[in-house]
A and B are shown apart, each in its own frame.
Chain A
Amino acid sequence: MTELKYTVKDFKSENEVRWCAGCGDFAILNAVQRTMAGLGIPREKFAVVSGIGCSSRFPYYMETFGFHTIHGRAAAIASGVKAANPELSVWVITGDGDAMAIGGNHFIHLIRRNIDINLIIFNNKIYGLTKGQYSPTTDRGISTKTSPFGTVEDPFVPGQLVIGSRGTFFARSVDGNMKLSQSIFEESVKHKGTSVVEVLQNCVIFNNGIHAAITDPAHRADRQLILEHGKPMIFGAENNKGLVFEKGKLKVVIIGENSVTEDDILVHDATEQDPTLHMALINMQLPDMPVALGVIRSVPAFVYDVEMEAQIKEVQKKRKITCVDELLNSGNTWEVNENGNGNANT
């Protein structure tokens, strides 16, 4: 077989991209196209499935097989795609409303089954397509069109749901950091099982700047901890801040102060089965803690589509019934002869 050489262009469809100018979705689209071009997977093997929302227009812009479905159901539809043909590289593009509200049930069950699907959730903490209602990830007290006096409910944190659903892969990126997104997407493809990537995405029209405190170039070095497996959890403009685990909690320390050395800093292990530390990393928020980005969790586990096929193969090895004719004539049957009398077949 000849080596597949794709460029980003090969993954751009002829459809005009119709997101608002300045929308964070453009960068994510670009990062996905770059990732796919470099994977060495034949283009016809990609299936991109989405639900409803701004992000869900995504498949129309991809020169792959694509299916823009109905609100919240992309995870369930993609599950069927992957189960039917495990050789495909199946991607789900969803948003905080699509995945966390109307599609919450499918989201958690996809993760529980650990079907080998890459799911990217664009989290802008607002309903954009319907013009600015609060979503399940909108912070308490925020005023929106449907919460003019502020919301009186707490948001979901996507990573918590992933861990709670026994997730095997969770990563977080920000829309503007295409390099980070691309490297995460590559990792998510390598992972066998459901990979959930939360991208903190900016809705320039209805929730502009919602992640600005995290992404602000002037402060991001101090506010983002970009995790790498096997590397110490060090961050900061001067690269001297780190995380330690003390009395059951994560804590920020300064290397060189209070006799803290680099050796005291936690080393990231994304492959640790025990999710305790991964959960603590997911939970970190400003202002006391940096926000964790990168691949937070990536652990091996049984994969649904692999097990489904293996079970069929296993059963077929010992099968007595090999075709429908044999099935129809299996079990208790009898012959009716000319005079209408029955004789049992054994």
Chain B
Amino acid sequence: MKDARVIELDEVAIRFSGDSGDGMQLTGTLFSDASALFGNDISTFPDYPSEIRAPQGTVGGVSGFQVQFGMKEINTPGDLAHVLIAMNPAAVKANAKFMNPGGTIIYDSDTFNEKNLKKANFTTEDPFTECKLEDFFKIAVPITSLTKESLKDFGLDNKSILRSKNMFALGLVCWMFGRPMEYVEQYINTKFGKKPIVAESNIKVLHDGFNYGMTMQHMTPTYLVNPANIEKGTYRNINGNHATAWGFLAAAEKSGLELFLGSYPITPATDILAALSERKDLGVKTFQAEDEIAGIASAIGASFAGDLAITTTSGPGLALKGEAIGLAVMAELPLVIVNVQRGGPSTGLPTKTEQSDLMQALYGRNGESPVVVIAASTPSDCFWYAYVASKIALERMVPVILLTDGFLGNGSEPWRIPKMAELPAITPRMAKDANTFKAYKRDEKTLAREWAIPGMAGFEHRIGGLEKNITGTVSHDPENHQVNCEIREEKVQRVIDMVPELEVEGDDEGEVLVVGWGGTYGHLINAVRELRLDGKNVSLAHFNYIKPLPKNVADVFGNFKKIIVCELNLGQFASYLRDLLPQFKYHQYNKLKGLPFNVNEVKESITKLLEE
């Protein structure tokens, strides 16, 4: 072993990349799970094209999956990858800019022929030089032919054999990083339980990949990444969309209500609909509607009938739901609207992440139409914020918009599994006394009305989208309309008593306060921590509650000389803060590339502000 190169690292980012049909998402997921089981903290980032099968071999058709894992807390999938697995030349071209200088590139040399180089628009025969990757450690592995060799005795057709290429790559990477393969084997056996030949052949290729690495170790570096020191407990991997779905299941169980989801498939939110459709065992009713409008309309109907009602969508869908959200505002029904944000406007970048729907969530409706707006900040805390959104909606009789994004929805991380008993109670405002019931009679403290649902004898009443008086009867009285508009706004403001105070990570006072909201937490906290290690006077205030804001925001902001609001849009949260807290000056760092922040660019912008 003396010739073997061993690189010991605290954290490693690895990117699997190939054609969108090459199985890179699965390979990446399996490797991530194996790493999490090994005891590393992880963070993942699938990066795939919106076409299911874009032309084979082209840069547009490249599908990537990046995972960072390490021996300490991992908050991001990593700015740049240390290791790239490239299944074709297009993958090299698409990922060159995401590589850590001096990193390792393992590529399937069988695919680096004239035809594929041309498809990837390379003009020379040396793609690595063309992409300025000369200084990288490049390992040519004839993955295609080795896979064929590995399976020659299985009697499989060529197409089936080639489908196992990704397992060869996975085996090789497992060897490089010292990952045990039991988990992957277990997965393959379960998935292909009914097709033993497929299971057997995949496992064979996996092992051959592993053994290839071992045999060729004099030319392949191995990486040693020790387990992370994380809080004890039972863990699982979870992505943001699953966490969101499960948060609603938890809220339904806790509140004693049936869960209803009305939704129309839209990237990247569809997985929430799929995850809840699987849960008939827990009695969930999922209604795949004919369009976005019917998605929310059916949910409003279910809410009227007494369910915990949810609708899920992404940006363009939220636009279509606007009028119906207004109905829920006017009727004062509990409803949660999830927006898994993506790049916009219009169809925009459906598979890419962005935070540009904040203003739409806050204001994108006709009339004075206030709703509660909250945002999740990591894949796993989508569970908590889905739960909280439901709690607020049910206890305050108000629509709540929960903002997540494509990065959170598809990204995953290990999650310490909570117990239902630990979660706070949810008490829906069910009406109790038919004699005194009035549809819009309000609780003095919260201004929430009571909920009486069809089937409750003696509570028959009418509600609707027209302005009304206390009984729900239509009213065009000018005074009444003004009072009601103010009440609906005030009702949302009073949710502030359910909002925890804003916390600062770092010092409570100092030079620069970095402000962020939603899905950028991981990158911002890393940037701030790294700057603090360099002795910089920087802290982070990250928002999950947008409307209403926590009550101590002005106190927090007032303790810093400079504030910089970092967000994946042109400055929507900054504008909102300027409107609500005009006494502070807000610097901005904005990015609109369909990609998450990377830690270095955030650090640079903060450093620049420190030096100004």
- A interface residues, Cβ below 8 angstroms from B: 13, 15, 42-47, 49, 52, 59-60, 62-70, 73, 76-85, 87-88, 105-106, 109, 308, 311-312, 315-316, 319-325, 327-329, 331-342, 344-345
Contacts and interface: CB of A to CB of B under 8 A. Distances in A.
A73 B293 contact: yes
A344 B183 contact: yes
B507 to A, nearest CB: 28
A296 to B, nearest CB: 25
A77 B293 contact: no
Interface residues of B, number: 75
Centre residue among B258, B297, B327 by max chain A CB count within 10 A: B297
A338 B39 CA distance: 12
A67 B462 contact: yes
A332 B455 contact: no
B289 A76 contact: yes
Nearest to A318: B281
A342 B455 contact: no
Tell me which of A15, A73, A322 has the highest count of chain B C-beta atoms within 10 A of its own C-beta.
A73
Contact of B297 (A73, A312, A315, A324): A73
B173 interface: no
Contacts of A340: 39, 227-230, 232
B464 A59 contact: yes
A44 B457 contact: yes
Given A65-B454, A327-B249, A334 B293 contact: no
The majority secondary structure among interface residues of chain B is mixed
Interface in B6-58: 33, 36-39
B236 interface: yes
A42 B417 CA distance: 45
B442 interface: no
B301 A80 contact: yes
Contact of A327 (B37, B246, B280, B291): B246
Given A59-B464, A65-B454, A67-B304, 12 more contacts: A44-B459, A47-B305, A64-B460, A76-B294, A76-B297, A87-B455, A311-B280, A315-B280, A316-B280, A324-B253, A342-B227, A342-B235
11 contacts: A47-B454, A60-B473, A66-B464, A76-B289, A77-B304, A80-B262, A81-B302, A82-B301, A85-B305, A335-B234, A336-B39
B564 to A, nearest CB: 34
A80 B235 contact: no
B298 A76 contact: yes
B294 A106 contact: yes
Contacts of B260: 80, 83-84
A312 B418 contact: no
B285 interface: yes
Interchain residue pairs A-B with the least CB separation, the first 3 = A80-B301, A68-B464, A80-B298
Most buried by B among A60, A80, A312, A338: A80
Interface in B376-435: 416-420
Nearest to B291: A105
B465 interface: yes
Interface string B210-234: 0000000000000000011111111
Nearest to A18: B474
B285 A319 contact: no
A126 to B, nearest CB: 22
A261 B281 CA distance: 61
B323 interface: yes
Contact of B285 (A68, A83, A315, A332): A83
A69 B463 CA distance: 8
Contacts of A324: 246, 249-250, 253, 282, 420
Contact of B279 (A59, A76, A106, A327): A327
Contacts of A64: 460
Contacts of A68: 462-466
A79 B294 CA distance: 9
Given A69-B300, A79-B294, A333-B235, A85 B454 contact: yes
Contacts of B461: 65-66
Nearest to A80: B301
A342 B421 CA distance: 25
A333 B234 contact: yes
A338 B300 contact: no
A334 B306 contact: no
B324 interface: yes
A341 B41 CA distance: 11
Nearest to B461: A65
A192 B280 CA distance: 24
A341 B226 CA distance: 10
A57 B281 CA distance: 40
A236 to B, nearest CB: 43
Contact of A60 (B258, B290, B474): B474
B285 A312 contact: yes
A105 B293 CA distance: 10
Given A85-B305, A336-B235, A308 B294 contact: no
Nearest to B250: A324
Contacts of B285: 83-84, 308, 312
Q: Which of B183, B246, B253, B285 has the most CB of A within 10 A?
A: B285
Contact of A69 (B287, B302, B465): B465
Given A84-B301, A312-B280, A76 B235 contact: no
B154 to A, nearest CB: 28
Contact of B464 (A46, A69, A85): A69
Contacts of A45: 454-455
A82 to B, nearest CB: 8
A45 B458 CA distance: 11
